[in-house]
Structure 1
Amino acid sequence: MQPSRRAFLLGRRPVQTPWARFIQRLTLLCQGAVRDLGEAGADGPRGWLAPAREGDLAHARALCAEYGVALALDGAEGAAVGPCLRVDPANLSGLARLAGDTPRWRAQPGVPLAVLAQAGLRQFDGLPGAMTLAEWLAAPAAWPAGRCAQSGVLAADVVLADGVEETLGPFGESDERPLRSATLQRLVPALFQLSTGPDAAACAVGGAWAGRYRLDALRPQAPATVNLAHLLLGHGGTLAWVQEVLLTAVPAAGEAAGGDAPPLDDAAREAGRRLDARIKALFDPDGRFPLLAFAQ
């Protein structure tokens, strides 16, 4: 007799695993599609969510924190060992051009790069058209050290690991809004301190940036100014969840690169790894997002 039939006849319900309860509650709370990819994989249980609205992501993040499940961007390189929910932002694909003399666009994370290029954002010309904006932000960022402004990213609305919603953008004299949360008030001074340390200096030797997380955003080359949103360039989906990005048009990557950077030596790479580990610990001390996966 099957266990489920025996339980029915004896009046007992089968015991649910924590993962099954997590998936059940996620399905009840979210309007988007949820898939249980199973618990038997070598790295642990896996699930998938395609949010239909931003509220779905808020429910997912809260449940992930409650059940100890990592929340990962689908398609990014973040490596999770243990329960993990991958989130596909494709349905969150709003794009609006803002009024004003300077052309600017607000884009949700699921907008394909082909749509952005067609709208007039030249930095996306020639890039994979099906890639989403969130995947592009998560992918390794090749801009020279101190030149993250070449990305055209002006600001980003994010959900941090503890659930706090913040806007990352210009910081200092050009800052248009204060840091609203205690989380960012704690985080930003620590990041500035890291940016003046020996590992940060080693990462910038030769014009390239040896780290994956773009801490050089805090020490930009003039005339650019500090912009906290540039910390997310190349973040692999491991520092925050991106809700919306404010973009402006800049030259395509090939036109803005300014020549190939020299190869990085082993000392610079090791400094980059140490720096990345410290940045990850500051942003996500409880491991709510997956770890950064490095290409070997």
Structure 2
Amino acid sequence: MKPGRRAFFLPRMLSDSPWPAFCQRLARMARGQVSDETPQAGAPGRARLVVAREEDVYHAAALCREFGVLLVQPGAREAALPAERGWLRLDTSQLAAIEAFDERSGTIVVQAGCPMGALRERLAGTPWRWHAGADLEPVGAWLLRTRGWLPGRCRDSGLEAAQVLLADGAFEQLGPFGAESTQPLRSTSASRLVSDLFQLASDSAVAAMLELPVWPAGYRIDALVPRAATGGEPVPNPAHFLLGSEGTLAWAGRFRLRLRDAGEAPPVLSVQEREDRASGRETPADRLDAMVKATFDAGGVFPSSVV
């Protein structure tokens, strides 16, 4: 019997070893199923949590901070997962609901695990459309992995707002600022986070990157200095930091999406190949990526795609 599995047959006894203790405590606190997938004794821990409710992720993140375990969500890039650390993979397949659809305004609220195919099926027969993608891929994973939105044009993604769990354990809704804001930030940590991000967005390198034909950085700091939509004002939106972030900044459990009119062409995506970092040359985009990651997740709760 694998050491990591023994805990589930001895619910009243807590192990003194860190990894079995982590799995046991998570199994007691979470409503969803916990599976120890460590391949062999002595190997870095590997576990999976089938998320049954958002509180499961709150408990998981707290234990990950305590035990130094990475919290890995759908959309994470395998290359960003260090082999020497323990991982907890989040399975959001049970968080798959379409919670609200306002057909008049063309907005829809979905949970992170909602499959792309289910969303398209719900929109069939309406004047609204969503992006192309594999039917079984969760909407959340698609948003977290998809890159290529043009500089200053993150709104083309259709992501309007997201309910997130930040690295420090605070639940927040990130969304548009200004006249389009529907909910203020609730926690001090989120207010400080957004303030620090606005300060980063004032870096002269960001202005230069906005003039490029393709966004050169991994993280979308242009979320806070967007280009104005036709006939409108620019609307900063911190939720757009999630786009292409590969699950390295925060956990997102729910999204409000602005759909595309069926008669409109889908937005063009353009991805630039990143310069090989093995060359040792740090670009302004690399520097800003590292600063964004440190601002969101200084403690390393989530995987890191920056060096």
TM interval, short-chain normalised? 0.7 to 0.9
Greater shift, 91-100 or 129-138, is seen at 91-100
Residue pairs, 1:82-93, within 5 angstroms:
82-93=85-96
Residues 107, 261 of structure 1: alpha-carbon distance in 2 compared, 3 angstrom cutoff:
closer
Matched residues, number: 280
Q: Which runs of 5+ in 2 are unaligned?
A: 1-12
Name 1:3's counterpart in structure 2. Answer: none
Superposed CA deviations along residues 187-217 of structure 1, whole A, max 9, x for unmatched, are 1121112112133234334221111111111
Q: Secondary structure at the match of 2:290?
A: helix
Superposed CA deviations along residues 143-201 of structure 1, whole A, max 9, x for unmatched, are 10011111111110100000001110011233222222111211112111211213323
Q: Following the alignment from structure 1 to structure 2, what is the Cα–Cα distance between the partners of residues 35 and 256?
A: 40
- Cα deviation for residue 29 of structure 1 reads 2.0
Q: Which runs of 5+ in 1 are unaligned?
A: 1-12
Name 1:243's counterpart in structure 2. Answer: 253
Q: Following the alignment from structure 2 to structure 1, what is the Cα–Cα distance between the partners of residues 224 and 18?
A: 41
Name 2:131's counterpart in structure 1. Answer: 124
Q: Is the contact made by 2:145 and 2:245 (CA closer than 8 Å) also made in structure 1?
A: yes
Matched to 1:138, the amino acid is L
Q: Does structure 1 residue 212 correspond to structure 2 residue 218?
A: yes
Matched to 1:139, the amino acid is R
- Cα deviation for residue 20 of structure 1 reads 0.4
Q: Secondary structure at the match of 1:255?
A: coil
- Cα deviation for residue 136 of structure 1 reads 0.9
Q: Is the contact made by 2:107 and 2:259 (CA closer than 8 Å) also made in structure 1?
A: yes
Superposed CA deviations along residues 97-142 of structure 1, whole A, max 9, x for unmatched, are 34473022111110011111222252323x1111111211210321
Q: Secondary structure at the match of 1:124?
A: coil
Matched to 2:104, the amino acid is D
Q: Following the alignment from structure 1 to structure 2, what is the Cα–Cα distance between the partners of residues 293 and 264?
A: 12
Greater shift, 169-178 or 142-151, is seen at 169-178
Residues 152, 45 of structure 1: alpha-carbon distance in 2 compared, 3 angstrom cutoff:
same
Greater shift, 237-246 or 179-188, is seen at 179-188
Residues 207, 60 of structure 1: alpha-carbon distance in 2 compared, 3 angstrom cutoff:
same
Residue pairs, 1:91-102, within 5 angstroms:
91-99=94-102, 101-102=104-105
Q: Is the contact made by 1:140 and 1:212 (CA closer than 8 Å) also made in structure 2?
A: no
Residue pairs, 1:126-275, within 5 angstroms:
127-223=133-229, 224-250=234-260, 255-258=265-268, 270-275=283-288
Residue 109 of structure 1, aligned match among 95, 101, 112: 112
Superposed CA deviations along residues 29-86 of structure 1, whole A, max 9, x for unmatched, are 2222211122759982111111122222222112212222111114521424412101
Identical pairs, percent: 36
State the TM-score, normalized to the length of structure 2. Answer: 0.82
User: Once superposed, what is the RMSD of the aligned Cα atoms?
Assistant: 2.9
Q: Is the contact made by 1:210 and 1:269 (CA closer than 8 Å) also made in structure 2?
A: no
Q: Following the alignment from structure 2 to structure 1, what is the Cα–Cα distance between the partners of residues 272 and 16?
A: 55
Name 1:280's counterpart in structure 2. Answer: 293
Superposed CA deviations along residues 218-264 of structure 1, whole A, max 9, x for unmatched, are 11111251111111111110111112101121268x93435857877
Matched to 1:69, the amino acid is V
Greater shift, 189-198 or 227-236, is seen at 189-198
Q: Does structure 1 residue 69 correspond to structure 2 residue 72?
A: no
